[in-house]
């Protein structure tokens, strides 16, 4: 018993080290070679002033005499006296030590134990236990994923989109006037007039509203007693080398569309069972102008290509009757007013004189495409136009191998070039 009491007293003396030491006493302890060096924490405590209070409110229990030794049980049980310290920051902002865990940790542990019990019964619930201990940021992300749509729209390839546009999109319900124009009845404006006049019936009833949505593959549509085919003609695109003296209006004796008479006569052999397309020009060239012009039956494409807002550049070659000087080129490049709007060309450049003629040629590029714009620019500079030919639209240039009055069908790459895309 005496030995046990002496050991307890030594332990108490070692723990209860005096919190305040004078600097000389600390130095004596440090310089003593036979004693062990003090820990850094005790050195800082020893050198601090008496007025500073410790951050942690830590107290130690009174030493107790060791209990008499007992035989070890067969299965070791955890000691009830073992305490796990928890350092918690209080409302005043100072940390303190506690013997019990915080309430939120106890709640998280209880939820985890409950989920573990459920997971034993149902293995599909095993992943929910981890979600209970997740941080608020992770929980917010989970809620965002639940609120977001299940799947994002897939990105299809170009071939898939082209197949959809050609085979599926065309059969969706569309406006009646648009369907009649696509079926080759007449222009969209003329089709609207036919609808207003009561000459169009849909499923046996007269329809006088052009915006009525119809499905040509399901609805029965008649115009002037003639039934519209369930199939629509395919979209066609042609580049034509327009001859001088032809006009762009449809139905005229010397119209550009008349150049396709032989092609349309053999249509039933090329596309049996498919109605003939109604072709028209994209934009216009006056009767005295020759060169590149686009023919199609796609109204949306024609509107997009010919509208001034598209800012698609068009290049012309102007043959001048008479000499051309530098001041003429400067006057053309400065622009002129057309219908009250100042039009300035994008490019003015003289070309080499051809061997078979002595007339001067000028390359002029514009993007607005106003009526007679190039002729007005040249005449305003004091020059006389002998011949005018369009050679380029966007990035698509008229092939020199394409003869006058001939046409060639365009591919998808050519259509992108017309819009100025690479």
Res 172: pLDDT: 72
Q: What is the mean pLDDT of the chain?
A: 76
Please compute the mean of the pLDDT values over residues 260-269 and round it to a whole number: 89
Domain with CATH 3.30.2350.10 in the chain: 237-418
When comparing pLDDT for 9 and 107, which is higher?
Answer: 107
Please compute the mean of the pLDDT values over residues 28-55 and round it to a whole number: 43
Strands, sheet with 221-223, edge to edge from the N-terminal-most edge strand: 205-206, 200-202, 221-223, 226-227
Contact call for residues 240 and 294 (beta carbons, < 8 A)? yes
Res 421: pLDDT: 67
Res 152: pLDDT: 55
Nearest partner of 283 among 372, 160, 222, judged by Cα: 372
CA distance 237 to 418: 11
* 237-418: CATH number: 3.30.2350.10
Which band of pLDDT confidence, cut at 50, 70 and 90, is reported for residue 288? very high
Please compute the mean of the pLDDT values over residues 108-117 and round it to a whole number: 84
CA distance 278 to 178: 13
Res 36: pLDDT: 45
- Residue 342 CB contacts under 8 Å (≥ 6 apart), including other chains: 335, 336
Backbone angles phi, psi at 290, to 5 degrees: -115, 180
Is pLDDT of 128 > 90? Answer: no
- Residue 267 CB contacts under 8 Å (≥ 6 apart), including other chains: 274, 276, 277
Strands 289-296 and 385-393, by their bridges, are parallel
* 170-227: CATH number: 3.10.290.10
Res 246: pLDDT: 92
DSSP SS3 for 39: coil
Tell me the per-residue pLDDT of 353-390, one tens digit each, with 9 for 90 and over: 777 777 899 999 998 878 889 999 999 999 999 999 99
Which residue(s) pair with 97 in the sheet? 87
Strands 314-320 and 336-338, by their bridges, are unpaired
Backbone angles phi, psi at 201, to 5 degrees: -120, 140
- Residue 353 CB contacts under 8 Å (≥ 6 apart), including other chains: 359, 360, 361
Active site residues: 286
Tell me the per-residue pLDDT of 135-193, one tens digit each, with 9 for 90 and over: 554 555 555 555 555 555 566 777 777 676 666 665 578 899 988 988 888 888 899 99
Res 361: pLDDT: 92
Tell me the per-residue pLDDT of 232-255, one tens digit each, with 9 for 90 and over: 888 999 999 999 999 988 777 789
Domain with CATH 3.10.290.10 in the chain: 170-227
What per-residue string of b and e applies to 344-371 under the rule 16 or more CB within 10 Å gives b?
ebeebeeeeeeeeeeebbbbbbbbbbee
CA distance 422 to 414: 10
Backbone angles phi, psi at 386, to 5 degrees: -90, -40
Backbone angles phi, psi at 59, to 5 degrees: -125, 155
Nearest partner of 364 among 402, 413, 294, 314, judged by Cα: 314
Which residue(s) pair with 347 in the sheet? 365
Burial class (CB in 10 A: 0-12, 13-18, 19+), 174: middle
Res 132: pLDDT: 47
Contact call for residues 222 and 228 (beta carbons, < 8 A)? yes
Tell me the per-residue pLDDT of 212-235, one tens digit each, with 9 for 90 and over: 999 888 889 999 988 988 888 889
Instruction: Tell me, yes or no, if the pTM score tops 0.85.
Output: no
Lowest-confidence pick of 86-95, 294-303, 381-390, 404-413:
86-95
Res 30: pLDDT: 38
Tell me the per-residue pLDDT of 293-307, one tens digit each, with 9 for 90 and over: 999 998 888 888 888
CA distance 75 to 69: 17
Read off the tokens for 329: 């080129």
When comparing pLDDT for 123 and 356, which is higher?
Answer: 356
Read off the tokens for 389: 């030919």
Contact call for residues 171 and 217 (beta carbons, < 8 A)? yes
CA distance 353 to 298: 40
């Amino acid at each position: 018993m005496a030995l046990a009491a002496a050991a307890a007293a030594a332990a108490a003396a070692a723990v209860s080290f005096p919190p305040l030491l004078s600097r000389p006493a600390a130095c004596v302890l440090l310089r003593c070679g036979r004693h062990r060096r003090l820990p850094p924490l005790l050195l800082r405590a020893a050198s601090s002033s008496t007025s500073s209070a410790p951050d942690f409110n830590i107290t130690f229990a009174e030493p107790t005499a060791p209990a008499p030794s007992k035989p070890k049980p067969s299965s070791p049980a955890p000691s009830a006296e073992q305490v796990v310290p928890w350092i918690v920051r209080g409302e005043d902002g100072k940390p303190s030590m506690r013997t019990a865990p915080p309430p939120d940790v106890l709640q998280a542990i209880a939820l985890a134990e409950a989920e573990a019990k459920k997971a034993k019964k149902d293995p599909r619930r095993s992943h929910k236990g981890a979600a209970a201990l997740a941080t608020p940021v992770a929980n917010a992300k989970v809620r965002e994923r639940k609120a977001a749509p299940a799947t994002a729209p897939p990105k299809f390839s170009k071939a898939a989109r082209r197949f959809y546009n050609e085979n599926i999109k065309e059969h969706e319900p569309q406006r009646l006037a648009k369907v009649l124009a696509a079926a080759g009845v007449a222009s969209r404006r003329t089709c609207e007039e036919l609808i207003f006049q009561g000459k169009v019936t849909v499923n046996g009833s007269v329809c006088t509203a052009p915006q009525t949505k119809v499905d040509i593959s399901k609805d029965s549509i008649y115009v002037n007693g003639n039934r519209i085919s369930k199939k629509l003609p395919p979209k066609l695109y042609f580049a034509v080398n327009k001859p001088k003296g032809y006009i762009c209006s449809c139905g005229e004796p010397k119209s550009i569309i008349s150049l396709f008479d032989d092609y349309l006569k053999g249509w039933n052999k090329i596309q049996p069972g498919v109605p003939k397309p109604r072709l028209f020009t994209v934009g216009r060239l006056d009767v005295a102008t020759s060169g590149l012009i686009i023919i199609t039956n796609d109204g949306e494409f024609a509107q997009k290509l010919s509208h001034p807002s598209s800012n698609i550049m068009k290049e012309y070659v102007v043959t001048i009757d008479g000499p051309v000087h530098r001041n003429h080129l400067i006057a053309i490049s400065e622009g002129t007013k057309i219908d009250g709007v100042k039009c300035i060309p994008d490019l003015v450049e003289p070309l080499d004189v051809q061997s078979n003629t002595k007339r001067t040629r000028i390359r002029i590029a514009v993007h607005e495409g106003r009526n007679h714009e190039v002729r007005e620019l040249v005449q305003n500079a004091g020059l006389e136009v002998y011949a005018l030919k369009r050679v380029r639209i966007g990035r698509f240039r008229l092939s020199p191998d394409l003869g006058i009055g001939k046409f060639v069908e365009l591919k998808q790459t050519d259509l992108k070039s017309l819009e100025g895309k690479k």
